Amino acid sequence: MVQIVVSSAGAGGLAEWVLMELQGEIEARYSTGLAGNLLGDLHYTTEGIPVLIVGHHILYGKIIHLEKPFAVLVKHTPGEQDCDELGGESGTRYLVTALIKNKILFKTRPKPIITNVPKKV
Amino acid sequence: MEDYERELYGVEDDFDSQFAAELEVLAELEGTAALSPSRSPRPAPTVGRPRLTFEEAIAGGDAATDCSPGGPPGSGSGGARKRQLTADIQADTFLPPTPRIKRSKLDAARRLNFRPDEMEELLPPDSPTRGITPPPSPEVPAELCDNGSLDTGADVGLTGASPAARNPVLRRPPVLEDYINVTSTGGDRAFLVLRDEPVGTAVQGSFLDMRRRGRGQLDLLGVSFASLKEEVDSERRRQLLEEAQQLSDTLCSLRAEEEEEEAQPTGAPEEEPAPHQDASQHCLWVDEFAPRRYTELLSDDFTNRCLLKWLKLWDPVVFGRERPARKPRPSVELAPSGKEATASGKWKSHEQVLEEMLEAELDPSGRPRQKVALLCGPPGLGKTTLAHVIARHAGYCVVEMNASDDRSPEAFRTHIEAATQMESVLGTSGRPNCLVIDEIDGAPTAAINVLLSVLDRRGPQEAESGAPAMPAGGGRRRRAEGGPLMRPVICICNDQFAPSLRQLKPQALLLQFPPTLPSRLTQRLQEICLRQGVQAGPGALAALCEKTDNDIRACINALQFLHGRGRRTLSVQAVQTTRVGLKDQRKGLFSVWQEVFQLPRAQRRHMGQDLTLPTPTLLLGDGHTGLGSLATASQQFYHILHAAASTGEHEKVVQGLFDNFLRLRLRDSSLGTVCEALDWLAFDDLLGRAAHHGQNFQLLRYPPFLPPAFHLLFATSHVPRIAYPSSQQEAQSRRSRTQNLIETLVSGITPAARSRAAPQALVLDTLCLLLDILAPKLRPVSTQLYSAREKQQLASLVGTMLAYSLTYRQARTPDGQYVYRLEPNVEEVCRFPELPARKPLTYQAKQLLAREIELEKMRRAEAAARAGHSPQVDKGPPGGTGEKGVQPPAPCSHKQRLECVLKSTALEEQPERDFFGRVVIRRAAAVSSANTAPEPDSAERRMGTAVGRSDVWFRFKEGVSNAVRRSVYVRDLL
């Protein structure tokens, strides 16, 4: 029997995150990887439609309410020193750090942003 | 053999007369004078015969050898050759060389006779008669190949006497000419070349025909000449009789005195049978015994008289005769049927109306008010006959047109005008026409309109052109004022309710044919039977009448059919068992239902003795019923079976039975018959389903027995009141309506409620109670004044209604009131119509509820919207400020970058547009811009690079994005 302890840090103080779902891949221009790079801009139109600008693409999405909300768990593996404190439990704990109730789904084909349009073709 | 001989003699006579000259020559040449050519060779001894053929063979042989077709056959060399040849082939050559000439003569004679069927003549005789025979194969070619030489030989004696002889007979089909092939009985085949010989073929053809027929009865004419001749004779005789008849008719009508039984009418029928005996196979008895005179008419007297009176009303216009005084009229009109008139006594009101109509004054143009007489009635009552007889009786020439043949309005118009405005000059001795339009219910409405327009035409403008010439001088003056239609028109139809006749009926003298009286029909049938030598009892004839529903034509046709089949006696049994005389006519659904539910009158008479018979026991099969009643019952059974099957719409019949059987007066207090009937219906349904679902069509033979079962269960002597079945259709439409309702309801229910409410459970369990829930007691006061509990009640009610997506909607009733109705109207689904209605909510309560529901809906939508947009709404201000405030050090986003670009461009431009805006500065700017050529679009360029130079790209992937699936092990989680 495996017991996994999930606990939330503080009552009511949970942050609410937003899940973003993209249909496609995000690639880095250089081979340095994605880490540390800015993905793009997320805006909302006046009608509340989310707009994401990545590179020279602009993506229109929509907000979807998740029927089953997600919880963001952070795994805490007790170190040797903690083991004593917890009193011999196997000790892996999960801490709920955030809840996700909505997600933004971008599933339509992105539109290119064209800046330089020749005046005369 | 006798007739064959006779046949031959007949032929010979002809032949002798035609070929007198040739025969004479023959007789001179041959010793056997005047022997008929057909018989002379036949009885001839076999000795001479084979010799003949043998000689032919020889001649063929020498012809083949010397190959000189033109050479005279009498040449010595030919004879010598022949002798050698015969020596080669056969042993006996006992022929004297001298009879050369005679042989040729014989040849000629033989050819003349037997040329046509020479295979029969040639081949068979020599094989059996002589022991030693030339094999048939050389024999025929000998005949065939050398025909030319033989012919020449024959021609020496008689030129052209045997034209047929010139036809060469070949073993193989000729290449160039036409030929016919002939096969002998032995299977040998020869080919005759066809040559056209104007004289010969005709003679030979007829000759051939006669011969053939004489021998093998190959009737190429179809009918023997003798019978044809007789037929022509009888035809001539009949024509004479008819002329005499017409003459007598005209005489009678001209005298305008009623003809009772006189000399000619009795004479005519007595004479007639003789020719008719011969011609009976060609002529229908219906035509033969059709009434030719008014007194012979079988149809209802009153109808006949009315039509005749109406026709007489035309007399002043057509014949220019003054209308006879009232006094002589009755005597003239009523005399022929005086005894019936007195017997029937007084007329019914309808008839009185008709009488008055006929007595009424003529219209200004001197014509009767009704220009058209419309005879209607089922087929076979003698409508057409009546029209013809009466028109002829009144001195008209009948012009008949069939409206279902000439359907186009154009044809109709030409026919009508031709008939009404012209007069036949030949043959009818100047009688005016009377147009009889048969089967007018088959005409389209357009054609009827043409007729109507002709009827309506009146006035002088039409009169000059359209008015027909009047035979009488007095008519000339009247023509100016009269309408163009100056001839009576009689229309005949089967169905007076045909839609096309609707316009015509008010203008027509409507004469409806009652069914013929069975007594009169039986009497007439008896006469016919007497004349035709059929022995038939009155019972059998009555049965026939009953079977055909007093249809005269069907009766007579059935009689003739039975007669033609060789039955000389007619019994009740025969009539009832034969299928003759049954009309193929479809019965209407109503009549079928009526028949099922009502005992026929005749049977009621029978049932008088055994009224105690309980029909249910009969159906169950354990009733001890008398044989007679059983017979009638079974007969009835079959009758109903047939009638029900004849409609062809089993479903409809059954539906009608189902809809009507409970309205009948039930004799059985225990409802046993009803249960039985319901069982039958269920059985029928089962059968129908099994048959149609499983394509098991052999089951379809059982459903037709349902109507007879119903008949046995429910038939009474009362006249049932039958309504057209509508329950099935009602139920079906209602079901579909309910289904639609439930579907809309279910689709509107919130998911939480829907998960527990399958449609069926909803209908059976929920809705009925839900309606009770939805009608709580609400105080008719403002909601502000509600107590907390009442408010909660209201809220829960609204919540429930929203959960089922029910609401109240205002609607306007037909009488102008406004009501609130539940929508979707679930009440229809779950409330039985006969049950007392639930106490409904008041109008105010419903109005309140509707408003509350709307409000609640809006509230929820708003809440949902707020919940959905909360990230944006909440984040909007802080996000914006945060980005602007916090982010600048971070790698700037597009927006910021773009903003920077725009700002810098704006800054760049701003100095150029200085406050002063001088030319100098602008020039400087221009110079500078000229110096740096790529500069002007620097802003755009920079914007482009700002957008495009991001470090992250997005690559779109088409298709469905399924969630990323990764297997996670529990040990990783621990």
Which one, of B364, B371, B362, B357, lies nearest residue B486 by Cα?
B371
Beta bridge partners of A16: A99
pLDDT tens by residue, B379-431: 777 888 888 888 888 888 888 888 777 778 888 888 887 777 776 666 556 67
Task: Answer yes or no: do A109 and B944 touch at CB < 8 A.
Answer: no
Beta bridge partners of B809: B821
How many Å apart are CA B487 and CA B373, to the nearest integer? 12
pLDDT for B13: 53
pLDDT tens by residue, B117-158: 444 444 444 444 444 444 444 444 444 444 444 444 444 444
Residue B323 corresponds to which amino acid?
R
pLDDT tier for residue A49 given thresholds of 50, 70 and 90: very high
- Give the best-scoring range by mean pLDDT among B15-29, B436-450, B682-696: B682-696
Q: B973 CB near a chain A CB, below 8 Å?
A: yes
pLDDT for B923: 47
Q: Where do we find the tokens 């008896």? A: B526
Residue of B nearest to A3 (CA): B974
Q: What is the DSSP string of B921-933?
A: HHHHHHHHHHHST
Distance from CA of A85 to the nearest CA of B (A): 18
Residue of A nearest to B948 (CA): A56
Residue B433 corresponds to which amino acid?
N
User: Is ipTM strictly over 0.85?
Assistant: no
Query: Judging by beta carbons within 10 Å of its beta carbon (0-12, 13-18, 19+), is residue B703 exposed, middle or buried?
Result: buried
Contacts of B958 in chain A (CB under 8 A): 109
How many Å apart are CA B663 and CA B666, to the nearest integer? 8
B868, B944, B948 member nearest A63 (Cβ)? B868
Residue of A nearest to B896 (CA): A41
pLDDT tier for residue B620 given thresholds of 50, 70 and 90: very low
pLDDT for A101: 92
Do residues B122 and B57 touch, judged by C-beta distance below 8 A? Answer: no
Mean pLDDT across the stretch B231-256? 86
Distance from CA of B861 to the nearest CA of A (A): 14
Parallel/antiparallel/unpaired status of strands B489-493 and B433-438: parallel
pLDDT tier for residue B276 given thresholds of 50, 70 and 90: very low
pLDDT for B410: 83
pLDDT tens by residue, B734-783: 889 888 888 888 888 888 877 877 888 888 888 888 888 888 877 777 77
pLDDT tens by residue, A50-88: 999 888 889 999 999 999 999 988 888 876 554 444 444
pLDDT tier for residue B596 given thresholds of 50, 70 and 90: confident
Question: Looking at the predicted structure, is the pLDDT value of residue B602 above 70?
Answer: no
pLDDT for B425: 63
Q: What is the DSSP string of B736-795?
A: HHHHHHHHHHHHHS-HHHHTT--HHHIIIIIHHHHHHHT-----SS-GGG--HHHHHHHH
Q: A68 CB near a chain B CB, below 8 Å?
A: no
Distance from CA of B884 to the nearest CA of A (A): 13
Task: Answer yes or no: do A55 and B953 touch at CB < 8 A.
Answer: yes
pLDDT tier for residue B197 given thresholds of 50, 70 and 90: low
B943, B956, B974 member nearest A23 (Cβ)? B956
pLDDT for B848: 85
Do residues B105 and B23 touch, judged by C-beta distance below 8 A? Answer: no
Task: Answer yes or no: do B950 and A65 touch at CB < 8 A.
Answer: no
Contacts of B953 in chain A (CB under 8 A): 26-29, 54-55, 57
Q: B944 CB near a chain A CB, below 8 Å?
A: yes
Question: Looking at the predicted structure, is the pLDDT value of residue B710 above 80?
Answer: yes
Task: Answer yes or no: do A90 and B957 touch at CB < 8 A.
Answer: no
How many Å apart are CA B132 and CA B136, to the nearest integer? 11
| Among B103-107, B636-640, B796-800, B970-974, the least confident range | B103-107
Give the rounded distance of the alpha carbon of B953 from its chain centre.
78
pLDDT tens by residue, B47-56: 444 444 444 5
Mean pLDDT across the stretch B888-910? 58
Distance from CA of B805 to the nearest CA of A (A): 21
Do residues A121 and A67 touch, judged by C-beta distance below 8 A? Answer: no
B872, B894, B954 member nearest A44 (Cβ)? B872
A2, A41, A48 member nearest B872 (Cβ)? A48
What DSSP character marks residue B165? G
How many Å apart are CA B664 and CA B647, to the nearest integer? 22
User: Could you say which residues from 830 to 869 on chain B have a Cβ atom under 8 Å away from some Cβ of chain A?
Assistant: 867-869
Query: Judging by beta carbons within 10 Å of its beta carbon (0-12, 13-18, 19+), is residue B493 exposed, middle or buried?
Result: buried
- Give the best-scoring range by mean pLDDT among B169-173, B491-495, B732-736: B732-736
More confident residue, A108 or B902: A108
Give me Rg for the CA atoms of chain B: 53
A21, A26, A110 member nearest B952 (Cβ)? A26
Mean pLDDT across the stretch B88-99? 45
Beta bridge partners of B915: none
Task: Answer yes or no: do A110 and B954 touch at CB < 8 A.
Answer: yes
How many Å apart are CA B855 and CA B5, to the nearest integer? 118
Q: How many beta-carbon pairs under 8 angstroms link A with B?
A: 105
From residue B434, how far is each of A61, B388, B392, B437, B485 by CA, in Å? 91, 9, 9, 10, 11
Task: Answer yes or no: do B956 and A4 touch at CB < 8 A.
Answer: no
More confident residue, B502 or B567: B502
Residue A13 corresponds to which amino acid?
G
Q: Where do we find the tokens 């509230």? A: B859
* pTM of the predicted structure, to 2 decimals: 0.38
pLDDT for B725: 84
Q: Where are the beta strands (DSSP E) in B792-835?
A: 807-812, 818-823
How many Å apart are CA B362 and CA B369, to the nearest integer? 6
- Give the best-scoring range by mean pLDDT among B327-331, B359-363, B609-613: B359-363
| Among B269-273, B703-707, B772-776, the least confident range | B269-273
Contacts of A91 in chain B (CB under 8 A): none
pLDDT for B630: 63
CB count within 10 Å of CB B528 equals: 21
Contacts of B943 in chain A (CB under 8 A): 115
How many Å apart are CA B122 and CA B702, to the nearest integer? 67
pLDDT tens by residue, B323-349: 554 444 443 344 344 444 343 444 456
pLDDT tier for residue B168 given thresholds of 50, 70 and 90: low
pLDDT tens by residue, A99-119: 999 999 998 899 988 877 777
B871, B948, B974 member nearest A56 (Cβ)? B948
Q: B876 CB near a chain A CB, below 8 Å?
A: yes
Q: What is the DSSP string of B93-108?
A: ----SSTHHHHHHHHH
How many Å apart are CA B481 and CA B274, to the nearest integer? 53
Distance from CA of A11 to the nearest CA of B (A): 21
Task: Answer yes or no: do B944 and A65 touch at CB < 8 A.
Answer: no
How much of chain B exceeds pLDDT 90, in percent?
Answer: 2
Q: Where do we find the tokens 């030919």? A: B78
Task: Compute the mean pLDDT over every residue in chain B, rounded to the nearest whole number.
Answer: 67
More confident residue, B46 or B602: B602
Question: Looking at the predicted structure, is the pLDDT value of residue B83 above 60?
Answer: no
Task: Answer yes or no: do B894 and A41 touch at CB < 8 A.
Answer: yes
Do residues B887 and B896 touch, judged by C-beta distance below 8 A? Answer: yes
Q: B752 CB near a chain A CB, below 8 Å?
A: no
User: Choosing among B951, B972, B973, which should be mutated to test the A contact, i.e. which has the most A CBs within 10 A?
Assistant: B951
pLDDT tier for residue B493 given thresholds of 50, 70 and 90: confident
A30, A55, A92 member nearest B974 (Cβ)? A92
Task: Answer yes or no: do A21 and B894 touch at CB < 8 A.
Answer: no
Which one, of B360, B435, B367, B450, lies nearest residue B398 by Cα?
B435
pLDDT for B375: 86
B868, B940, B947 member nearest A56 (Cβ)? B947
pLDDT for B765: 82
Question: Looking at the predicted structure, is the pLDDT value of residue B99 above 50?
Answer: no
Do residues A44 and A67 touch, judged by C-beta distance below 8 A? Answer: no
pLDDT for B922: 46
B891, B951, B961 member nearest A29 (Cβ)? B951
Query: Judging by beta carbons within 10 Å of its beta carbon (0-12, 13-18, 19+), is residue B781 exposed, middle or buried?
Result: exposed
User: Choosing among A16, A45, A56, which should be mutated to test the B contact, i.e. which has the most B CBs within 10 A?
Assistant: A56
